[in-house]
Amino acid sequence: MRNDGNETQMSSTAHEREKERVTTTQVLKMNKIVYVILQAVLQLAGSTSLRFIKPNVVALEVSDLSSFDVLLQCGEQYKGEQIYWERNGESISETGNHITVAIDGLHGGNFTCHRPNRDLLNYTLLLVHPVEFPKGGVLIRSIDKEFISCTARSYNGQFHCSWKWHQERIQRAVVYFKAIRNSSIINCTLDSDISGLTCIDKDYCPYSEESRSINFTLLVRNLYRLEEHQRTFLIRDIVKPDKVSITKIQDDVFEWHPPETWSVPCSFFPLSYEVKVVPNNHSCDYTGSRVKENKTNESHYKSGVTGVTIIRENIGISQKNRRSHTPLLDNLLCIPDKILQLFLFIHILYF
């Protein structure tokens, strides 16, 4: 009985050792496979990478304009079928569910796979994103030297972002856009002219301190060249009140009201106004001896000059929030004999 027990114990121990040896071998093999895969990924990342943008749209991110091979698949559901491919509407020699295509420079393409009767099965829009190239090939900078300009007319959480297309990029399109704050996606709608979009942050509270920025990403293309732009901002930094409506009360007294789009109550969202009178044919930056300036929180002004009439209105805002901004022309008024001009500026006050 004792010998049988020892034999059983020895057999069990040998079995455990063999099991441990097999497990160790398997782990080593798995580690080797993982290492090989990682090594291949790292080698690929050194020159190029394929980025998923959205369903059926991918971007080949390159650091130079060399030739790269890209593997395309029609779809697992079409495995075993006879499949033909087209590139930008023209037949190519590659066939089958998986094909390899060469991408030279910025020459991406729209690849479609078909059955022999030309029924469309699937497609892949392959774009090229030259990540090391300077931006500005598809969009151009605006006056503020940004590719994307964003403004808000009030503190209700709605804002508008716009951009300018390069005039020579006629085959342009918006590929993708996203606005996000604190991991929450903000709903945005693209304008009909694809030169801007309107967003509204439904979770934004205008009565609390704004601590987290909005991150906006825009992907645009011309032909098959992809360009990425980003903008980060707070609502309070892009607020620009709409036009005010100026009403003439008497010959030398004027009254205006906050813009209809401005947030209420005005006691919580205050505006101050700057009135400046300068000689005719001078800009609003003129600082001569005949200049009259007045800052007020009231919505009326007595010019002291009779016969003043409104001849032009333009938008202009100066924000005052720990930073100094140069006021822009908002409303220009002048007297009939064109001796004096009256400028009205709007200032946003933050507490």
Q: Give the number of C-alpha atoms closer than 13 A to the C-alpha of residue 225, restricted to the C-beta side.
A: 19
SS3 of residue 136 by DSSP: coil
Amino acid 248: pLDDT: 66
Amino acid 304: pLDDT: 67
- Domain 48-130 and domain 139-238, same fold? Reply is yes
Amino acid 177: pLDDT: 97
Please list, in sequence order, all residues whose beta carbon lies within 8 angstroms of the beta carbon of residue 231, skipping any fewer than 6 positions away: 146, 147, 148, 150, 161, 215, 216, 218
Amino acid 324: pLDDT: 30
Amino acid 347: pLDDT: 54
CATH topology of domain 139-238: Immunoglobulin-like (2.60.40)
Amino acid 33: pLDDT: 29
Q: Where are the domains of the chain?
A: 1-46, 48-130, 139-238, 245-349
Amino acid 144: pLDDT: 79
DSSP secondary structure, 191-255, as one string: -TTSSEEEEE-TT--TTS---S-EEEEEEEEETTEEEEEEEEE-HHHHB-----EEEE-SSSEEE
Residues (pLDDT < 70) of the chain are 1-47, 248-249, 251, 267, 279-280, 303-351
Amino acid 234: pLDDT: 94
CATH topology of domain 48-130: Immunoglobulin-like (2.60.40)
Amino acid 268: pLDDT: 79
Amino acid 254: pLDDT: 77
The span from the CA of 188 to the CA of 178, in Å, is 8
Computed over every residue of the chain, the mean pLDDT equals 76
Which residue, among 292, 301, 296, 294, has the nearest Cα to 340 in the 3D structure? 292
The span from the CA of 265 to the CA of 94, in Å, is 66
Read off the pTM.
Answer: 0.71
% of the chain beyond a pLDDT of 90 = 42
DSSP secondary structure, 26-49, as one string: HHHHHHHHHHHHHHHHHHHHTTEE
